[in-house]
Structure 1
Amino acid sequence: MDQKNCFALSTRTNFPGYIDLLRNVTGGNFSLVTECREEVCGALWGGGNPDISGIGMAVGYVLESAICATIVCAFMLLRLQPKLDTKLARLLLSNASKTFYDNAIFFTFAIQIASIFTLTMANFGVSTAGMGAITMKIAWLVSTLTLLPLLPFVGFPELFADGKEAGASAIASSVAFDAPDSKKCPLNSRNERAIEKIKARKGERFLLFVICWALSFYPFFSRMAGTFGKSQIGDSPGSAVSTNDWDIIEVACFRDVQVVSSGSETIMTAFGVGSWLLATIIVVYKIILSAMKVSHERRWNWLKDHNLTLDTDTAIGFRVWLSLCITILMFLIAQFWAFFRLRRFQSDMTGAAGGTFPDGQWTFGQIVGVVIFVPVVVEVLFLWKKRSLYYN
């Protein structure tokens, strides 16, 4: 085939239309794909997309999870070693948590919006530029990957509390316990305002997470349709390409490449679906608890008496949160393994086809993806240097 025909095969809109084009160009002889290997393989599986899986974005994903793990470990250390639980330590941990969450939530929000936009363009055949099959799998993956590091903060808002906030919460709990009738023992106005501010911030953070979780619906169901929906490859009527012809295309594109096995694909799918379901269970349960607390006081009290409110001030609640963190860590490890395995597979395929893998290059957006978490380090260093202004 001449270069003109190969260029025509470098882009596609929808899968059946592209297969028809490929069939026309090759005259039905799909073994000729080897002559336009770079164009065909890039159009079908994607040659990389720096905005989704570039080196800078990968560093951003790792930083989000690493900072989350550092904060959680620091809190556990303070919990297990009371001597280290000083006001300064609480201040550093609290401000690190607040700064991290504020940056991570909008990083996640941006990833969800970008995933929806690119997946919609690809799913409805508008444009598949930079969105081959492998790139779509990575887009599905990062949608849940960025949600996971936020879950420990959603499940345990006390991470945001410094010494003053913790004190205000303790006063509130004490008054509520000793004097159920708030009219008989009113809180002073300062503590009331402090408690209301804490509640408002908790509500704001949870609302932002719910918005990100709701936005992840489309990437998740796009994944379900792509993974479990009717395949366009097969020998049944209505299929875009026969199994035999598709095998010929795969052999041409994956020659000299270590492909992702079907077992690995199954593990990736299982952990991807499990990650989203974990976030969904936590969000739905917290929404139910919030509704009961406001509208069904009797049921709320019953749940609280039976330690079902997941109050982390109790030993049971803290153990549940600890188990949640371990589960999140397990899912994160699996998700990162899937991310880098797919990325390497795509890089190897692109290189074997004679193309250039763009995800290894730093671009404008990727630098932004890394710098977004720098304020966490800046905040901690500032508080440490100026600690005398806060505590003597």
Structure 2
Amino acid sequence: LSEEQAKAILDLRLHRLTGLERDKILEEYRETLKLIEELESILASDEKVLDILVAEFEDIRQRYGDERRTEIVPRTEEITIEDLIAEEEMVVTISHGGYIKRNPVSLYRSQRRGGKGRLGMATRDEDFVEHLFVASTHSYILFFSDKGKVYWLKVHEIPQAGAAARGKAIVNLLPIEKGESISAFLPVREFQDGWYVLMATRRGLVKKTDLSAFSKPWKSRGIQAITLEEGDDLIATRLTDGNQEIVLSTRSGLAIRFSEEDVRPTGRTSRGVKGIDLAEGDEVVAVDVVRPGTTLLTVTQNGYGKRTALEEYRRQSRGGKGIITIKTTQRNGPVVGVLAVEDDDQVFLIASSGKIIRTGVSGIPVIGRNTQGVKLIDLESGETVAAVARVVERDEEDEGEDGGGQDG
């Protein structure tokens, strides 16, 4: 304050100062009452509230508005995990010991004929690659257990590993029960009509079910694929178009060839029908889908084997006793495996000791059915052949070489 202003204030009487302060308070009070009345009027009217909101939003839009960065659509679609995973072709390998893995196709490059190839898995600990196929990351694999159940995995759920890595045990990826083991599997891209799953059991039953019936198994505990009698096991499955030729082979050296059309499609929980009439003590050891030009390779427990032309197996009605495919004696022993093979195939012979012999099919003679075969493998005392499996492998590109690309 200036000196004059301070002097003027000091000259005012005290009651005048008090009156000025009182007038100020009264004016504030009247303004507050007016504001309360105005706000209560707004709250009592929805129209006024909306008008104020619109005005405020308009002000915000004018000051801060820009073009919308998201798109408003009339409906939403369900997103699956596959929508977030790139579709890519994978090489899936399953070993004889039950290990599985996947790798990109690019890891297995094409190679000219005569190249050294690429290791698909180190052959160690008596294990080797028994199955190899190419499938999309969005494809499915159906795993069938010996107890007649089926489990379901997407290819992208299979662990990816290096070319020489062993992979992961299948039993650790599936909720199989104690005492249950995986006996067969089928890679499936789509569950289309017109395709069937053909199943065969140890006691000679066969069953055919629409592929679509397996499109949605319960991943938590699987679903029933076939109802088995006490003591019977599911030993093999095949994916067919319903018009194939089937051969069932038994431990005692018999085989039956019949048309798949003889097997009527049934539901998942059915028991199946008789594929071959087994003698007491005999059992089915192999089932194959055969085509003209192939031969049947039969291998016995004591290391003997032979090939027989498919034409020597006449077609019979389903449920017959079959015909001799190999003469089994004490010398060569019972049948352990039968494969439909071509001349350029190779096979593994697996001994009970874990020893593995690889041999070309072309070196195994093609002879008649009613013979004992020739020795395929030298066995030590007490050693037997435990299994036979087709060799599967995929060659690698020879860098710097052109042409002659040949997949193995």
Question: Where is the helix percentage greater, Structure 1 or Structure 2?
Answer: 1
User: Whose RCO is larger (CA < 8 A, sep 6+)?
Assistant: 1
**TM-score bin (small chain):** under 0.3
**TM-score scaled to structure 1, two decimals?**
0.19
Task: Indicate the structure (1 or 2) with the bigger Cα radius of gyration.
Answer: 2
